[in-house]
Amino acid sequence: MYKARIIARQGKKFIVQDAEHKLHQCHVRSQAQEAVCGDRVVCEAKSRGQDIITAIEPRTNQLTRIDNFKREKTLAANIDQMLIVVAALPEFSTLLIDKYLACARLNNCAVTLIVNKAELLHEQQININTLAATYTPVVDHFIIASAKLGYGIHALRRVLIEDTNILVGQSGVGKSSLINRLLDSSTIKIGALSESIQQGRHTTTNAYAHPINSPSQAEIKIIDSPGVRSFSPTFARMDQVALGFKEFDEYIGSCKFANCQHLNEPDCAIKTAAAAHKIAASRYASYTTICEELAGA
């Protein structure tokens, strides 16, 4: 038996990395069907490279969403930082950004917002100052980058946290291109092994953890998650939604009603702050939309 970390998955096939950084192909037993990239697992060595994942260790957190069938789906686990990527093209949604931010906050993740394809900002008439004013107060880092030109890559490398980071965002924003700018030759072996479990399929792994070189020699991994068109985070209760909005903190508890949902109630401190432009209008609009979606689920 040995302990390892899942760094890639395709169906019931996995690549895990053990404590000595050796890679193994594994299958999964039924009780560990929901293993995902980032999970710490216990494996049983078998012959011919057919090791078995026998158990999943407790998670510190997990990135989950609601799929099209209203089922909760876990995308990755044990995340230390969420890197939210938007771009000048395709057109991005502030609602999607805010959903990821709420998810990161409820999972106690650090968060960085990356605006990629900087070379297209002027052409697409993106007001980067307005975007920065809205999000700089609620994220740990705000980075303008261009994977094409190499701009912002040094800043991105500096903010990567030891252990596990995950890139999230809609399809086409350039997540994989950013990772390619960060990668080194140590990924070649993992890439070859990942290809071997695909067995000619044209689908990609659910998520893939790449090792990134660090000047301090810290062990850094960055998970490239599949692009999405939409993202619906999971909330156990309606009152959790407000906790996902950092700028609400100073106003929660100041409303007239202790159970205020900050929607239609009178004398709501959060609505008053939004009306006074102390909370960005787009952020409060995202809050109400998320609440409406949750109520209608």
279 close to 248: Cβ distance less than 8 angstroms: yes
More confident: 83 or 9: 83
Confidence check: pLDDT of 238 > 90: no
pLDDT band at 199 (very low <50, low <70, confident <90, very high): very low
What DSSP state is assigned to residue 277?
Answer: T
Confidence check: pLDDT of 203 > 70: no
Confidence check: pLDDT of 188 > 50: no
23 close to 193: Cβ distance less than 8 angstroms: yes
Most distant CA pair in the chain, distance: 67
pTM of the entire predicted model: 0.88
Q: Rounded to an integer, what distance in angstroms lies between the CA atom of residue 293 and that of residue 25? A: 40
Domains located in the chain, CATH noted:
2-56 (2.40.50.140), 62-224 (3.40.50.300), 239-296 (1.10.40.50)
Main-chain dihedrals φ then ψ at residue 269, nearest 5 degrees: -65, -35
More confident: 126 or 140: 140
Q: Which long-range contacts (CB under 8 A, 24 or more apart) does 144-147 make?
A: 144/115, 144/118, 145/114, 145/115, 145/116, 145/118, 145/178, 146/116, 146/117, 146/118, 146/119, 147/116, 147/117, 147/174, 147/177, 147/178, 147/180, 147/181
- List, as one string, the DSSP characters of 116-163: E-GGGTTTTT--HHHHHHHHGGGSSEEEE-BTTTTBTHHHHHHHPPSE
Q: For residue 238, give every residue at least 6 positions away whose Cβ sits within 8 Å of its Cβ, in sequence order, or none.
A: 261, 291, 294, 295
Confidence check: pLDDT of 32 > 90: no
Confidence check: pLDDT of 72 > 70: yes
Helices (H) and strands (E) in the chain, counts: 8, 13
More confident: 212 or 205: 212
Confidence check: pLDDT of 184 > 70: no
Confidence check: pLDDT of 117 > 90: yes
Query: To which residue do tokens 């991994």 refer?
Result: 221
Query: So what's the pLDDT on residue 230?
Result: 64
Residues facing residue 168 across a β-bridge: 84
Proportion of the chain above pLDDT 90, given as a percent: 58
More confident: 196 or 272: 272
pLDDT band at 215 (very low <50, low <70, confident <90, very high): low
Proportion of the chain above pLDDT 70, given as a percent: 87
Confidence check: pLDDT of 192 > 60: no
294 close to 233: Cβ distance less than 8 angstroms: no
Query: So what's the pLDDT on residue 186?
Result: 44
More confident: 209 or 71: 209
pLDDT band at 294 (very low <50, low <70, confident <90, very high): confident
Query: To which residue do tokens 């159970």 refer?
Result: 259
Output the CA angle 134-82-136, nearest 5 degrees: 20
3-state secondary structure of 78: coil
pLDDT band at 152 (very low <50, low <70, confident <90, very high): very high
